[in-house]
Amino acid sequence: MTEKFTGSFTQQDPIPEAGIDAALAVLRHGRLHRYNTTPGELSETALLEQEFAAYVGAPYCLAVASGGYAMATALRAVGVKPGENVLTNAFTLAPVPGSIASVGAVPVFVGVTEGLTIDLDDLEGKLDQARILMLSHMRGHLCDMDRLMAMCDAAGVTVIEDCAHTMGAAWNGVPSGRSGAVGCYSTQTYKHVNSGEGGFLVSDDAEIMARAIMLSGSYMLFESHLAAPPIEVFADIKYDTPNISGRMDNLRAAILRPQLADLATQCARWNERYFALEKGLRDTPGLAIVERPEQETIVGSSIQFLLLDWSADNVNDVLARCAARGVDLKWFGAPEPVAFTSRYDSWRFAPSTPMEASDRVLASIVDMRVPLTFSLEDCALIARIIRAEVSAVYQANAGA
């Protein structure tokens, strides 16, 4: 009998009971706005910022409405101007170049390696084109952050890290988001903590964070923040920084705090599932595993593999055959954007030129979510299905 998977690739774990209870408490008192507190009360949002700052080892943290808002705010806070170039990954999701375009800047795309990280050799040749790098740790893959930061520091390029897929990950023990000037995170439903939408910025730089807080719409109430710079840092900034409101509210913060407290356990659960899938896929004919460096501490909330140099028809055949057996795979090689699988040449608001080596990699990337609602048995079954269908298509076309 042909095996089929009958689970959902979009069903997340439920919000923990502690988060539900905390959310109900906020709903009952009605003070959802982060600055709407009673005398002596600490808002859920301020407490969450303090806790997330401690989690990643940052002095300053700001909770905001989305990961995309976090990135755009970081760009504004470091002084990016309209028309200015900003370096970023060719392999990322649309909100990353979108954040650059939203401040009137121009994305300059940097290539991708077969390890699905930014091509550091290509980056080295482009560092003279911009003073800011928006580095996307796309799908949880961390590049050699030691080499990247050495290159950028030497060139005077400020790094902003997009950590939407790497909350809980690290390079050589340094948490993702703590190498650059600003780390940006997402709490959207398919990320590592779930508030529907939401995000964070963290930084060691007091002026950058003070500007971010003012940009988020603090209404001069920055003194109520628990993970903010000293009050004197705001002395001049408060007069020349516009309010571009994008605060997180207390309801979402209440939902997130118990999830953050349990994040290490959840990351371990994702990695169990990731490595079960990887084990089942390894040595499949025609399929290349994306090898993870030993310096990288991963959070395996999605998995990718490469079908290098396969024709589009054969890749689509694999996707269709897996879909017929209940396995939902996404492909970054389609000529038109499908769901979230757009790529640098899809974003016509940003100029680009073809990058042959990167285009070869992009055309090979197959992507799959790994929700925690999967059991380890589910992961083994999914791997068997993918292995069987990739092998069947590969063998049917061998030598063709």
Contacts of 278 (CB under 8 A, 6+ apart): 289, 303
How far is it, in rounded angstroms, from Cα 30 to Cα 11?
29
Q: Which structure tokens are listed for 335?
A: 């000529």
| Number of helical (H) and strand (E) elements in the chain, helices listed first | 13, 14
pLDDT digit of tens for each residue in the chain (400 aa)? 699 999 999 999 999 999 999 999 999 999 999 999 999 999 999 999 999 999 999 999 999 999 999 999 999 999 999 999 999 999 999 999 999 999 999 999 999 999 999 999 999 999 999 999 999 999 999 999 999 999 999 999 999 999 999 999 999 999 999 999 999 999 999 999 999 999 999 999 999 999 999 999 999 999 999 999 999 999 999 999 999 999 999 999 999 999 999 999 999 999 999 999 999 999 999 999 999 999 999 999 999 999 999 999 999 999 999 999 999 999 998 888 888 888 899 999 999 999 999 999 999 999 999 999 999 999 999 999 999 999 999 999 974 4
Give the pLDDT score at 341. 83
Give the pLDDT score at 343. 87
> Which strand (E) or helix (H) includes residue 269?
helix 263-281
Task: Specify whether the backbone of 42 is left (phi greater than 0), alpha (psi in -120 to 50) or beta.
Answer: beta
Give the pLDDT score at 339. 80
Q: How far apart are the first and last CA of the chain?
A: 30
Give the pLDDT score at 1. 61
How far is it, in rounded angstroms, from Cα 24 to Cα 296?
38
Give the pLDDT score at 338. 83
| Angle (CA) 105 107 111, round 5° | 165
How far is it, in rounded angstroms, from Cα 365 to Cα 188?
23
pTM of the model: 0.97
Domains of the chain as residue ranges with CATH: 17-261 (3.40.640.10), 263-397 (3.90.1150.10)
Contacts of 301 (CB under 8 A, 6+ apart): 140, 165, 190, 191, 192, 270, 274, 369, 370
Handedness of CA 174, 179, 182, 183 (dihedral sign): negative
Q: Which structure tokens are listed for 239?
A: 């007069």
Which residues face 365 on adjacent strands?
Answer: 306
